[in-house]
Amino acid sequence: MLVEPLRTSTVAPIISFGTTIPHARRPAATSAVQKLCAEYERTLAAFKTALDLSIEAENAAIDARPKPDSLIRPTKRNFADVPDYTMIGNKKRRLFSQRIPITSGEIKREITSVRRNAVKVEGSGKNKTVVHSERGFPLTVKQEALLKRLEKRLPLALAYEAEVAAIRKRFRVDELDAAAQVPSRKLGPLAGRIADTPSRDRYDMLAKVRICEIDPDMAGVSEDIAMSIARDFVRLPATGTV
């Protein structure tokens, strides 16, 4: 991704748990729904802890990054030699400062294109002819100068990327991100199992409601579990358990 990463806050939102369990007689055994909901809470807590560590590492790595050489900074002048193809045809204009420095991959692509020089445009105005050659055309003086500028940029980009990679490794950015993905991947399937398991009484319904309160942004929670609660609400009165 070529867009410059944004600093992320680790401050967790304040959540108000308004649901209270009535002082009524509880079933002796913990139900399947309540076990699943308890597992979801533990997994969500583990994910939030791991995510905070990952965000802290990412922010620390951003702060520690060196300033790129002027020849690979994302400026209008540099993009005249190394076009930002991610913006071609994109109607939304983006500030150059919002993307990362010019990459070695972008520079290599342009070097290959200039060296091949397979296309030549002849004529002017509306009467232009595009000529293609498999062997390529001889480079013009301008193209020779462009090739030298590109070849000068390549080692600078490679060195910068190596420095950034070393910094990310020092702060364990990728390692901590991978660790956060482990509990994250479990949340969706858990939400699905909770939604698919019918409540046996009001305590199961309240357990589901709590999951909706603590993780309302998860689609499987806000949609699937919410619909599950609605089904329970319709079904349970008929059984006399609510």
Q: Alpha carbon of 137 to those of 98, 110, 121, 133, 134: distances in Å? A: 37, 16, 11, 7, 9
Q: Is the pLDDT of residue 21 over 60?
A: no
In a domain, 17, yes or no: no
pLDDT of 16 strictly over 60: no
pLDDT band at 88 (very low <50, low <70, confident <90, very high): low
Does the residue 152 lie in any domain?
yes
The pTM assigned to this predicted structure is 0.74
pLDDT at residue number 136: 77
Check residues 21 and 81 and name the one with the higher pLDDT.
81
21 lies in some domain: no
Sign, CA dihedral 38-229-205-195, equals: negative
Please write the tens of the pLDDT for every residue from 153-193. 999 999 999 999 999 999 999 999 999 999 999 999 999 99
In a domain, 1, yes or no: no
Assess contact for 65 and 164: CB atoms under 8 A: yes
* Distance of alpha carbon 242 from alpha carbon 239, whole angstroms: 8
- The residue among 8, 38, 62, 26 whose CA lies nearest residue 214 is 38
Is 8 inside a domain boundary? no
**Domain annotation covers residue 50:** yes
Domain range spanning residue 223? 32-239
Number of domains the chain is built from: 1
pLDDT confidence of residue 174 = 97
Q: Tell me the mean pLDDT in the region 6-12.
A: 53
> Whole-angstrom Cα distance, residue 67 to residue 168?
15
Instruction: For residue 99, tell me if it sits in a domain.
Output: yes
Kind and range of the H or E element at 150? helix 141-170
